[in-house]
Structure 1
Amino acid sequence: MELHREAPDDFWEVEALMDLCFAPGRTALSSYRLRDGVPPALDLCLVARGSAGEVAGAIRFWPVRVGAAPAMLLGPVAVHPTRQGEGLGAFLIQSGLDRADAAGVPRVLLVGDAPYYGRFGFTKLDGVEMPPPTNPDRVLGCWDWDGIKGPVEQHLS
């Protein structure tokens, strides 16, 4: 498995993987409103390729703000159906978080299942509001969220 930073040439292969894993209607999800017109944080986005060069998995991060506080929105994370169950998703998440930490990212949030993401240090964020109709119990964050509350908004850097 080869893991590398997502490059502009990877874009369409990663998009095809995301469509395969989440269906083309994925862009209708509320979290995509935070991504519209905002480029991903390519220094943090990763692509895993198999031995034949195929895209086996990918993770993306997007800059957002909660009030005046900058954060990174993690997701989506996608693993090709033929590679699921190998731990690749966990490897991508941990590798992405390691890169974000090394880059000085103060906080990360996502919309997901607390039992799965808890092993990476994510906990429920009270008072942090994703665009509706997001279930507030699925808004999770890790690192420095003390005193940060309010709606999550796009961050155009």
Structure 2
Amino acid sequence: MKNNSKSEPEIRLERSDDAPKIDNLHSETFGPGRYTKSAFRYREKREHLINISFVLVHQDQIIGSVRYWEILVNNAPALLLGPIVIHPDHRGRGYGVRLIDYSINKCNEANHNIIILVGDLSYYYKVGFKRMLGKEIIFAGPVNNDRVLYREIKTNIIEDSSKIIIKRYPD
């Protein structure tokens, strides 16, 4: 069913045939610099979890995407959120927050507990993320610790630890 121009975008599960469109959106939005970010080390040569990754579709066009990747936090299974992307023509309308909030609810339904991301607290606090204040953070590569954010859904692994070790999920 086609949306008219005034309709709201719809969120749906990402499909494997969406990958080229999402990759183009990442390229247009973030450029080649995205490969130099420390968070990319966790995604490099790995597949994201397509069963909890979502797209935002408007008039049959993908205008947004959020993906999740398996990681370990203090040896417990966790998720790395990102990248989250909204096409520049559709920013400032709350679509990113809507997409993240929807995806977090689906992560909860799938019994995931810890979600980590690297980003600005001023944006991500809207969907429940916090800084790891007073924690020693071990991350794959240089990172500003104030930008390493988390959300725990069911346990307190991060809350109860003074040292946080974030690792790639084993191959």
TM range (shorter): over 0.9
| Aligned residues of 1:130 and 1:136 also touching (Cα < 8 A) | no
Could you tell me which of 139, 143, 147 is aligned with 2:160? Answer: 147
Counterparts of 1:73-152 in structure 2, within 5 Å, are 73-125=80-132, 126-143=135-152, 144=156, 145-148=158-161, 149-152=163-166
Deviates more, 1:144-153 or 1:62-71: 144-153
Cα separation, 2, equivalents of 1:107 and 1:142? 6
1:61 aligns with 2:68: yes
SS at match of 2:25: helix
After TM superposition, the score normalised by the length of structure 2 is 0.85
Aligned to 2:29: 21
Unpaired segments ≥5 residues, structure 2: 1-8
Which of 42, 46, 53 is the matching residue for 2:54? 46
- 2:97, 2:126 within 8 Å by CA — same for their partners in 1? no
Q: Deviations over 1:69-97 (max 9, x none)?
A: 11100111000011111111111110111
- Structure 1, 4-13 or 140-149: larger mean CA deviation: 140-149
Letter in 1 for 2:168: Q
State the alpha-carbon separation in 2 of the partners of residues 75 and 104 from structure 1. 19
Q: Kindly indicate whether the alpha-carbon contact (under 8 Å) linking 1:31 and 1:131 is maintained by their aligned counterparts in 2.
A: yes
1:38 and 1:156 in contact (8 A); partners too: no
Greater C-alpha Rg: 2
1:60–1:75 contact (8 Å) kept in structure 2: yes
Instruction: Find runs of 4+ consecutive structure 1 residues off by over 6 angstroms.
Output: none
C-alpha deviations, 1:81-118, integer Å up to 9, x for none? 11111111111110111111111111101011112111
The normalised TM-score by structure 1 is 0.93
User: Following TM superposition, by how much is the alpha carbon of 1:133 offset from its aligned partner in structure 2, in angstroms?
Assistant: 1.5
1:153 Cα shift? 1.2
Deviation, 1:6, is 0.9
Does 146-155 or 111-120 show the bigger shift?
146-155
Supply the distance in 1 between the matched residues of 2:138 and 2:99 (Cα, whole angstroms).
26
Match of 1:32 in 2: 40
